[in-house]
Structure 1
């Protein structure tokens, strides 16, 4: 007997994101320089970028030039795209220093109780987060997030 379709749940292997930008061919430089990505494919109105393992992790797509601001992205929009880093607090501090040296706008630095987040924006205003996880047990992470109401407390991170 087969399982009802409403019981089927996706098993996500990985994710990627596609972002509208003013000019993907100009924006691609920022993604290479700041996020260390490589260009893997290019079309008439788009560029695919990878962190080096898969064919693409981020796609930059030309936005309709006749639309601006909230009209182009809508009133409700992506809050941020989190990028969990592999490393230590010093690695997060080094990334913070790199962002500052490259004049990347910093949005906020937070203690989420399960890790630390460093939020910044790309040239088109998309918000990204470098995230350093400190609680690696998922059950404990769920407990801590619930106990602290999914916090985003300010955190003083000293750049290296």
Structure 2
């Protein structure tokens, strides 16, 4: 049986493509690879795009609280990168919920259109733990060491 081997990209509908491009470029370090009409494609460099942004107009309703995707998660390389992401979000006055899962340190937040996002540092090796075990405790992102 053939199965997918990786997630190819995330496609998000946004009210303002330029605003969204600025956010994803500044917060996550993505580069624009192509702009076509109401679409922008952003990449880390190994694929044509990792994130596709589709402008749907300023009056489009935001994500609801019902069934649907909770968030897209972006893994960072190290503690310094997670601290930097936290600083960039705070500089933009984005509300951030920092959560220590035992296997990761995560920052939960929303983009300007309310799409749920996570930036996280995998800490499984540092904590010698492979399973989540339900831990979700707040932490101070400025004190991230590993």
Distance in 2 between the 1:61 and 1:128 partners? 17
What residue is the counterpart of 1:154 in the other structure?
A: 138
Aligned length: 143
In 1: Cα distance, 2:26 partner to 2:41 partner: 15
1:105-126 CA-partner distances (Å, limit 9, x unpaired): 31x1111111110112211111
List structure 1 runs of 4+ shifted beyond 4 angstroms. Answer: 64-67
For residues 37-72 of structure 1, the C-alpha deviation after alignment (integer angstroms, 9 at most, x for no partner) is 1111111221111122211000001226664235xx
Whether 1:135 aligns to 2:124 is yes
Residues 42 and 50, structure 2, Cα contact 8 Å, conserved in 1: yes
Q: Which residue of 2 aligns with 1:83?
A: 74
Q: Write the distance in 2 (CA, Å) between the matches of 1:104 and 1:65.
A: 20
5+ unaligned residues in a row in structure 2: which ranges?
A: none
Q: CA deviation at 1:86?
A: 0.8
2:14 to 21, 29, 54: 21
Q: Secondary structure at the match of 1:54?
A: coil
The alignment's C-alpha RMSD in Å is: 2.7
- Is the contact between residue 47 and residue 60 of structure 1 (CA under 8 Å) also seen in structure 2? yes
Cα distance between partner residues in 2 of 1:55 and 1:46: 13
Displacement of 1:81 after TM fit? 0.8
Q: Does 1:32 align with 2:21?
A: no
2:34 counterpart residue number: 41
Aligned partners of 1:9 and 1:154: how far apart in 2? 40
Correspondence for 2:94: 104
Partner of 1:92: 82
Consecutive unaligned residues of structure 1, counting only runs of 5 or more, are: 1-7
Deviation at 1:104, TM superposition (A): 2.5
Aligned partner of 1:5 in structure 2 is none
